[in-house]
A and B are shown apart, each in its own frame.
Chain A
Amino acid sequence: MATPLRVPRPAGIRWAIRGLSILACVGLWQIASTTHANLGIVTFRNVPPPVEVVQSAVALFRSPKLAAHVSSSLWRVFAGYVAAVVIGVILGFAIGRSRAASDLLLPPLELLRPIPAVAWIPLSILIFPSSELSMIYITFIGALFPIVLNTVHGVANVDRRLVASARSLGAGGIAILREVVLPDAAPSIVTGLAIGMGTSWFCLVTAEMISGQFGIGYYTWEAYTLQNYADIIVGMLIIGLLGMGSSWPLTTAGRLLMPWRSPQVAR
């Protein structure tokens, strides 16, 4: 059967369709929650309608609590993630470039890697003196493995003809790392950084639910225990926004730092 030739729709209409799709989802949610729809497996009996969620969100945005929750979550992710970036990239370079480092460092990492970061929570509470540090550790361990593994992948697969060319042109060991290995591995490293950012948020929210006193994950869990059901959804939305807001600078920085990957911007 021949596929009919399709005329592409104008961009304006496509955006309108996308907007309507989101509105329709919110509309369905409103109907399901106000009618307390029971679909057998799931029930909307306790789900607050969007209007209530908006009211709760406005209330939270007016209260000083929001800044406290958001800033403590951001600080934990920042601390754990930055530590994971520094240690992960250094480990990745060492393992990817040196056989000795790979034999020495990779086996323990491979043993720890299948353990989900969330499973570290009880032990990390025992190991670290404060719950603050144990939460930072959870975000660190969540981000570490994707960063290490993607860096190793990028560094170990550097085109050896490029390295040979650089050597023939007079480059020494350090210059080859800086001028060839780093830029050749950069796309893979940035991928690791983006995945790591996602997993560190995921791990943080879980950790906060268990052992926090502030933080957006704690806020969401507290809303459940206090039966402020609208706040649960506000918390979920804020977590999503923060996660999105944290990976956007990464992908933008990646694009700006690697202009050769989208070379229409040359000249």
Chain B
Amino acid sequence: MNIRISDIGTNSVGRIEIAGVSISLGAGADAFEAVRGLDFTILPGEFICILGPSGCGKSTLLGALAGHLPITAGELTVDGQPIRGPSPDRGMVFQQHTLFPWKRVRDNVAFGPKMRGLAKAERNRAADAILKLVGLSGFEAFYPAQLSGGMQQRVEIARVLINQPRVLLMDEPFSALDAQTRSMMQEVLLDIWSKIPTTTVFVTHDIDEALFLADRIVVMSARPGSLIEDIALPFGRPRSHDLVTEPEFVRLKRHVMELLRRPEGSAPLARLSPLGM
């Protein structure tokens, strides 16, 4: 833990090595392999999107990175350290509704520092500062239920980033939002990420979202999830939503759609949770 803010984004923290990783879920006769033989490296400060059809095991991989699920084969390390369980070093943002409903926004965000034993005044100051960064000044004393879906996700991001994690893990964080809020939140996220350039692993099944956000896209196949293609994106930053109409964007989108095309007549799989079965 205790990494210095000056280390973040300086190519020294947040390197993820995924080597021959397989993950099985379920027990007994219901057991199945959700992820098989994944191999790739995520560089410090990189923004990577994992894209794949529903049920392909991309959230399962994220759950393993967060330390909520054990891997059954291979090696999973962050900055050379094998993952042995959940840690504030690897912050996780879920799809929705994982703020503590009984805590005000400020106390939700200050939860990590509280667990580290920071004094109340100090952790409140830190929480207010990061809430300002995500654009939620003035909402510190609200309860989560009083905020819109987009604002709740900003609180989620702030609550994780206050711990200065080595990596930021996001499990379809905007998929429960309406289209307009979603595209606004994508810009908000890129803005936050440009100020705190943490290694980010972002799971989505939305091709536009992946192409708009990422430096690199990892495309996964249906179950058991394995890597189909690893695509480095050529788009510069900062990005705006004008990008989505550029020919190169459209060409890549068509290519990815082709990769993800489901065989005729096959049914979609149920979504998997990063917490397992």
Contact = CB atoms under 8 A, between A and B. Distances in A.
B18 to A, nearest CB: 19
Interface in A72-91: none
Contact of A267 (B68, B87, B141): B141
Interface string A152-187: 000000011110111111111001000110011010
Given A263-B146, A266-B142, A168 B92 contact: yes
Contacts of B145: 260, 263
B112 interface: yes
Nearest to A257: B102
Contacts of A170: 87-88, 112, 115-116, 163
B255 to A, nearest CB: 34
A43 to B, nearest CB: 55
Contacts, number: 77
Contact of B159 (A169, A183, A260): A169
A260 B144 CA distance: 9
Nearest to A167: B86
Contacts of B92: 164-165, 168
B115 A171 contact: yes
Contacts of B101: 260
A169 B163 contact: yes
A263 B143 contact: yes
In which size bucket is the chain B interface?
Answer: 20 to 34
Contacts of A179: 100, 111
A72 to B, nearest CB: 39
Contacts of A162: 98, 100
A26 interface: no
Contacts of B102: 183-184, 186, 258, 260
Q: Main secondary structure on chain B at its contact with chain A?
A: loop
Q: Main secondary structure on chain A at its contact with chain B?
A: helix
A169 B88 contact: yes
Interface string B9-26: 000000000000000000
A183 B100 contact: yes
Give the interface centre of B101, B116, B146, B163 by most chain A CB atoms within 10 Å: B101
B112 A169 contact: yes
B55 interface: no
Contacts of A186: 102
Nearest to B275: A164
Interface string B209-253: 000000000000000000000000000000000000000000000
Interface pairs A-B: 5 shortest CB-CB: A170-B115, A170-B88, A167-B86, A183-B102, A168-B86
Given A168-B91, A169-B115, A184-B102, 5 more contacts: A162-B98, A166-B111, A170-B116, A183-B100, A263-B143
20 contacts: A161-B98, A161-B275, A162-B98, A164-B86, A164-B98, A165-B100, A166-B100, A167-B68, A167-B85, A168-B66, A168-B88, A168-B160, A169-B160, A170-B88, A179-B100, A180-B100, A260-B101, A260-B102, A263-B142, A266-B141
